Amino acid sequence: MSQHILVVEDEAEIASYLRRGLVYAGYTVEVATSGAAALAAARERPPDMVILDLGLPDIDGLTVAQRLRAGPPLPILMLTARDAVADRVAGLEGGAADYLTKPFAFEELLARIHVQLRRHSAQQEREILVVGALTMDAAAHEVRVSGRRVELTAKEFEVLDVFMRHPRQVLTREQVYDRVWGYDFGSDSNVLEVYVRALRQKLESADTPRMLQTVRGVGYVLREDT
């Protein structure tokens, strides 16, 4: 069975272009032209992936993403003309697995779709990762510290997943960007630092050693809290 993609786009020309290209690539496609229609379509037929425009006529795309993320794990690729770093961060923090700005090359869009669907499929397999007091259940999208459940955003979960799959290994910013976002934000970006700081606040307490450690001039490393 072909994988089902929900395209949320209110510009008819772009929506038609995406539908034709994705159908030709072997996907089944449903188009929604508003946020309300997108949420209804997702309830009626849960998609394998959503391509979501931010500038919708009724509900803002960020709100749509957050509501979709309240359900089962679902990869969301935001496709928008908003290209400022702040917009990218807001989109990724809001639940997007990836963010592509218009205009775009359709070949790149297909590559990103393939990466996200493959990653999502792998995450659905039952797998428990353990590093010290940290436990991650990829299928349940659940993280615990010493048995205490920790609520993470979708992107925080993905960043932590990379480190938990490479414990005690120093990872550069470029490596994390490539594995989580599929591209490098550049040396001037502090996107990764924002996520590392958020993870530290949620995973660590004042009386426990730092697990996600900074290696100056290189990157970050996840070590057991012992």
What is the model's pLDDT at position 126? 60
Beta strands, E only, the chain: 4-8, 28-32, 49-52, 76-80, 98-101, 128-131, 134-137, 142-145, 148-150, 171-172, 212-215, 219-222
Predicted local confidence at residue 190, as pLDDT:
82
Model confidence, pTM: 0.57
The one-letter code for the residue type at 30 is E
Gyration radius of the chain's alpha carbons: 18
Q: Give burial (CB, 10 Å; 0-12/13-18/19+) of 201.
A: exposed
57: Cα within 13 Å, side-chain hemisphere: 8
pLDDT of amino acid 207: 64
Amino acid at 119: R
CATH of domain 126-222: 1.10.10.10
List Cα–Cα distances, 68 to 34, 53, 137, 139, in angstroms: 14, 14, 20, 17
| 176 and 159 Cβ atoms separated by less than 8 Å | yes
**Domain residue spans in the chain?**
4-123, 126-222
pLDDT of residue 87: 74
Which pLDDT belongs to residue 125?
61
pLDDT at position 24: 94
Low-confidence ranges of the chain (pLDDT < 50): 226
What fold is seen in the domain 4-123?
Answer: Rossmann fold (3.40.50)
Q: Is 219 helix (H, G, I), strand (E, B) or coil?
A: strand
SS3 content of the chain, % helix, strand, coil (to 5): 40, 20, 40
